[in-house]
Chains A and B, each alone.
Chain A
Amino acid sequence: MYCLDASFAVRYLSGEDAAVIRRWRSFSSDDELVAPSLFRAECTSAFAKLVHAGRTTEALAQTQIARMLRLPIRIVERDALYTRALEIVCSLRKSKAYDALYLATAEHEAAELLTVDDGMRDAAERLGIAVSLVR
């Protein structure tokens, strides 16, 4: 089972990163993909920023967001994730809970976290959560 960081999805939806494309293609029907509920909002927000910055068109962004919503990703929404995320934020001495919600989800689901973000990889490793930095 894999927990997807929004960075891993947006990288696939907006670029030509061979390692990321290979990883997405390698998921088999035996695999399960999960993400916290903020995953979809973060992907949408990333595309909104790209449109706002003039780096892509609204039409292309709309197309990719519609496809993102068709990806077979199970959204995990549990009360326990939020309390655990707060513990993680405090233990990492951070002030934002967004990373921690992904970490809590990976931990709760015993899933390997897939990310393109070094900081997220480092945080997962500090917590003993299985993680892959896809590059």
Chain B
Amino acid sequence: MDGYVTVDQAAQRLGRSIEQVRRYLREGRLRGRRIGQQWFIDEDALAGWRPGRREGVQRLGEPVAAYEARPMEAGKRKKFKPLLDPELMKEIEETARKIYEEAGEIDVAELIRQDREEH
């Protein structure tokens, strides 16, 4: 698609991971088009995109000057509310740390894969 890049290409150009670029798209920090399961990002706007400020993040297609002049929008942003109970996450992570200390690095992908192959 002319004038658009894939998530992989955008990640390379921004020096970010694919996961981060997908998150920017989901959060509206990057504007893109989704066709089926695939995201496409406007190539020209990507060139001027600047990460960093969470408030007033530049939108794709918006000139850099306009982005920099735009007032902070912190008050308008929805406050992050975690899906998982923070206490549950804390307990899980503490126990996971104990397991890690005992077991060392576990190749989880291989562990699950072996299980699937054995069945």
CB distance from A56 to the nearest CB of B (A): 5
Report which A residues bind B (CB closer than 8 A).
5-7, 10-16, 21, 23-29, 31, 33, 42, 45-46, 49-50, 55-57, 60, 63-64, 67, 70-72, 96, 98-99, 112, 115-120, 128-130, 132-134
Which of B84, B105, B116 meets A24, CB within 8 Å? B84
Which of A24, A60, A72, A134 meets B99, CB within 8 Å? A60
Q: Is the CB of A132 within 8 A of B83?
A: no
Number of contacting residues on B, CB 8 A?
Answer: 39
Closest to B98 in A: A60
A60 to B19, CA, bound (A): 31
Question: Which residues of the other chain, A, contact B115 by a CB distance below 8 angstroms?
Answer: 42, 45-46, 49
Which of A16, A27, A49, A119 meets B100, CB within 8 Å? A16
Interface-lining segment among B45-53, B54-62, B65-73, B106-114: B106-114
A25 to B102, CA, bound (A): 24
CB distance from B108 to the nearest CB of A (A): 5
A126 to B109, CA, bound (A): 19
Closest to B18 in A: A132
Q: Is the CB of B82 within 8 A of A25?
A: yes
- Could you pull out 13 A-B pairs where Cβ atoms are within 8 angstroms? A12-B92, A13-B95, A21-B93, A25-B82, A25-B89, A27-B82, A31-B83, A50-B103, A55-B106, A64-B92, A72-B84, A117-B109, A130-B38
Which of B83, B95, B114 meets A72, CB within 8 Å? B83
Closest to A68 in B: B92
Residue B117, interface by CB 8 Å: yes
Instruction: Tell me which of B37, B96, B112, B117 has the highest count of chain A C-beta atoms within 10 A of its own C-beta.
Output: B112
A115 to B110, CA, bound (A): 12
CB distance from A109 to the nearest CB of B (A): 12
Q: Is the CB of B100 within 8 A of A98?
A: no
Q: Is the CB of A14 within 8 A of B119?
A: no
Q: Is the CB of A24 within 8 A of B102?
A: no
A96 to B89, CA, bound (A): 33
Question: Which residues of the other chain, B, contact A116 by a CB distance below 8 angstroms?
Answer: 108-109
